[in-house]
Every structure is written in structure tokens, then in C-alpha cells.
């Protein structure tokens, strides 16, 4: 044990510790995987359909349709709405690549809208400004675990007869005005990538909807458009959730609400620690809107005055994990250069220069959080000392 650890301070703090969360469930994982192994039902085993039911219920949706990834969930939703060449879909530029790439893959045009600087979510006013006769859908992303302004977004969609596809890949169990995400728009899309709040042991995804006919269409598209077997009414894709993945996720499902509460407790503790240290005057802390229940997939601060990268290096020097989600907005990515000019995305570009995500995983200890805040405090204390000198 190092002197630092013996003094009650951790030697390091990882951004995420998947193993720490999985370790207590190892016996249950092995038993669940053995059951699948013994059954031989590796594709569309009963665990898959049980997980679909449980995710739908958790999201207050009537139907769940599983697929191979969160990226595929977005793609399949767009396919099922017949989005294609000549169509436009409004998306944020400040998000993971899959939100826009799903639109692009179908030959449609992703139209980028700016974000609200407080929540980092797509700004309804910016959405309204870029609607055209070619617009067919909006993909609001519930970024970092906080729901977008769905009342305003749904109102815009209703006024222009648009589909609303919720990108809830980072936000399972998040709520907007008491309603879980994934059931507020027309379809919700979830990811079970290992770093998500409900993470599998590989890729996995889910779509949720209250429309029975649309759910059937999603199932059709995820299985090569085949119904009945070897008869294809549409050209779909092969995007199935493996039974092994569903089995491990079912082991985790009973823990999800508790893990979400632990993330929320960690976020509240960060707020208290930063305020006590006076650091809330140096960095901008993330905010949870009153009508929201934040699921805290990420705890993302803003570091103004061009000091973000220096602070991140300082944290790394102290063996504290951090990440920049996202350093390059999608409208500035090389693969979308051919799109030409975009609407003003001032807040998006500013956020990309300032954001820094700190550890927030459920098993993070209070001592680890104190160490993180102390390291940030030390960084700014050094700056102040240099300024005085």
C-alpha cells in the first residue's frame, strides 16, 4: 500500500471501472450463460424476448424490439420510417457519430442544429429554424443522461408532421416531467455498449415504441425483411441481439435503478465538494433541470478560458481518468465536409472546446471523488500562484 492510500487517498481514479461493477455479479453471469449454452438457443432465445419486455416496461413503452447495437437502433428506426434520398433529418452536431451516420447511410441529409449551453441537448429554437419541406424527422439526443426538451420538440414535430426518434443511448431510466425517455417520442433507441448505464459484454441495442404496427415493422427490418422465413417484403438488415448478451443484461436489470440512484448521489456529492472548495467559480458544473431526472451517464464540467486541455493533463498526471465528449462536432468532421455550410452552431463549437467528463460510475467512492476535486483545486491554486508571482 502506498503512503497516499494509507492516508485514505486513492492512488488513482479511473474514468470508468467496468470490472468493479461486474465482479459482484460474476456467479450470476456464469449461471445465466450456462443456461443459454445448455439450451443451444443462441439467437432469439427466451432471454431476448424477456429483455425486450423488461426494457419496454422500464421505459413505459408497450413494445421493445432488440437489435445488435444502439447505432443499429437508430438506423432501423429511420429505415422503418422510409427515410431516404431527398429527406432531411434534424440532429445535434454535439453528439456521438452514430446519430448522424445513420441518416447519412440511408442517403438522407443530416441537418445540424445548435445546442442549449446548459444541458448540451439540442435547442428547440435551433430545430425550428432549420425545418424545411424536406424535413421528415428529428433525432433529439438525451445527452450524458439528461432528457432533451421534449415538450417543445414534440410541439415542433406535431406542427410540421415529423417523426421524433429519441436517441436515448446514454439515458436509460432518465425522465422528463415524470415520464421515462424512450416513450416520449415516436420511438426510443437504446445502447447496451459496456460503458452505458446498462452495459452488456459487447454490443447490443433496443428500440421502444407504443405503436404495435411500427414495432412489427422494426422486427421485420432487423431480420433481413424476412416474414415468413425466406420471403422478403423489404430489404432489411441482419441486426439481432445475441441471447448471451440478453442473458447478461437480465442479470443486471434488477440493479439498474439502484445504480442510477448511485450515479445521482455521486453527481450531488460532486456539486457539494466543488462548491465547498470554491471550484464552482472556476469550472461550470453540469445542471439538472427541475422537471428532469438525470441518469448521469457522464458528469461533464465546462472549463473556460482555454484551460480544458491543461486541466486534463493535470488530472492524468495525478492518475485521474477523464474524457472529452466530444472534441470535434459532427459538422466539422472530415466525412461530412461535402455538406457545405451549416446553420450557426456557436454553442456547439464552444462546448467542444470546454467540456471535460469526470468519473461518475456507480461504484465510485466518496474518497475518490474528493481526490478528483482536490486535484482540480490544486490545478487552479497553481494558476493563481503564478498569477500573483
* Residue at 17 is within a domain: no
Question: Total domain count for the chain?
Answer: 2
- Do 246 and 260 sit in the same domain of this protein? no
Same domain, 231 and 275: no
CATH code, 352: 3.90.1150.10
Helices 212-222 and 70-80, interaxial angle, to 10°? 120
Residue 284, in any domain of the structure: yes
Residues 359 and 268 in one domain: yes
Digit-by-digit pLDDT tens for the chain (389 residues) are: 344 544 568 999 999 999 999 999 999 999 999 999 999 999 999 999 999 999 999 999 999 999 999 999 999 999 999 999 999 999 999 999 999 999 999 999 999 999 999 999 999 999 999 999 999 999 999 999 999 999 999 999 999 999 999 999 999 999 999 999 999 999 999 999 999 999 999 999 999 999 999 999 999 999 999 999 999 999 999 999 999 999 999 999 999 999 999 999 999 999 999 999 999 889 999 999 988 999 999 999 999 999 999 999 999 999 999 999 999 999 999 999 999 888 889 999 999 999 999 999 999 999 999 999 999 999 999 887 666 55
Long-range contacts (CB closer than 8 Å, 24 or more residues apart) made by 276-282: 277/373, 277/374, 277/376, 277/377, 278/377, 279/373, 279/376, 279/377, 279/380, 282/376, 282/380
* pTM for the model: 0.95
Query: Would you say residue 149 lies in a domain?
Result: yes
Whether residues 232 and 318 share a domain: the answer is: no
My answer on whether 363 and 290 are in the same domain is yes
Instruction: Return the C-alpha cell found at 39.
Output: 439450451
In whole angstroms, give the CA distance from residue 33 to residue 31: 6
**Do 85 and 191 reside in the same domain of the chain?**
yes
Answer yes or no: do 240 and 271 share one domain.
Answer: no
Q: The domain that contains 216 carries what CATH number?
A: 3.40.640.10
> Looking at the structure, do residues 117 and 204 belong to the same domain, yes or no?
yes
Where in the sequence is the domain holding 202, given as residue range(s)? 23-253
Residue 283 in any domain: the answer is yes
My answer on whether 214 and 314 are in the same domain is no
Task: Tell whether 49 and 69 lie within a shared domain.
Answer: yes
Amino acid at each position: 500500500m502506498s503512503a497516499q492510500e494509507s492516508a485514505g487517498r486513492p492512488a488513482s481514479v479511473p474514468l470508468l471501472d467496468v470490472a468493479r461493477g461486474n465482479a459482484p455479479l460474476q456467479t450470476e453471469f456464469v449461471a445465466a450463460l450456462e443456461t443459454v449454452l445448455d439450451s443451444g438457443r443462441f439467437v432469439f432465445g427466451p432471454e431476448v424476448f424477456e429483455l425486450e419486455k423488461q426494457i419496454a416496461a422500464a421505459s413505459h413503452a408497450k413494445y421493445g424490439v432488440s437489435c445488435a447495437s444502439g447505432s443499429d437502433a437508430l438506423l432501423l428506426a429511420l429505415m422503418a420510417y422510409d427515410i431516404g434520398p431527398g429527406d432531411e433529418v434534424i440532429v445535434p452536431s454535439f453528439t456521438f457519430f452514430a446519430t448522424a451516420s445513420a441518416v447519412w447511410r440511408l442517403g438522407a441529409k443530416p441537418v445540424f442544429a445548435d445546442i442549449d449551453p446548459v444541458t448540451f441537448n439540442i435547442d428547440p429554437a435551433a430545430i425550428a429554424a432549420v425545418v424545411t419541406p424536406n424535413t421528415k424527422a428529428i433525432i433529439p439526443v438525451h445527452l450524458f443522461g439528461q432528457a432533451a426538451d421534449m415538450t417543445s420538440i414534440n410541439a415542433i414535430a406535431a406542427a410540421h408532421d415529423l417523426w421524433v426518434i429519441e436517441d436515448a443511448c446514454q439515458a436509460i431510466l432518465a425522465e422528463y416531467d415524470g415520464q421515462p425517455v424512450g416513450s416520449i417520442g415516436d420511438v426510443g433507441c437504446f445502447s447496451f455498449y459496456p460503458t452505458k448505464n446498462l452495459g452488456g459484454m459487447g454490443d447490443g441495442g433496443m428500440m421502444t415504441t407504443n405503436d404495435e404496427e411500427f414495432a412489427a415493422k422494426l422486427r421485420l427490418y432487423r431480420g433481413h425483411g424476412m416474414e415468413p422465413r425466406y420471403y422478403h417484403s423489404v430489404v432489411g438488415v441482419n441486426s439481432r441481439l445475441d441471447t448471451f448478451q440478453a442473458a447478461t443484461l437480465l442479470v443486471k436489470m434488477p440493479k439498474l435503478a439502484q445504480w442510477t440512484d448511485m450515479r445521482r448521489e455521486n453527481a450531488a456529492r460532486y456539486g457539494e465538494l466543488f462548491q465547498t472548495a470554491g471550484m464552482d467559480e472556476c469550472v461550470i458544473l453540469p445542471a439538472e433541470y427541475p422537471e428532469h431526472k438525470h441518469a448521469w451517464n457522464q458528469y461533464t464540467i465546462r472549463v473556460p478560458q482555454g484551460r480544458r486541455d491543461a486541466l486534463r493533463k493535470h488530472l492524468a498526471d495525478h492518475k485521474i481518468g477523464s474524457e472529452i465528449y466530444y472534441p470535434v462536432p459532427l459538422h466539422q468532421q472530415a466525412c461530412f465536409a461535402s455538406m457545405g455550410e451549416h446553420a450557426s452552431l456557436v454553442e456547439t463549437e464552444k462546448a467542444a472546446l470546454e467540456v471535460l467528463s469526470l468519473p461518475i460510475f456507480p461504484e465510485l467512492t466518496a474518497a475518490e471523488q474528493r481526490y478528483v476535486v482536490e486535484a482540480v483545486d490544486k490545478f487552479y491554486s497553481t494558476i493563481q500562484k503564478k498569477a500573483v508571482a
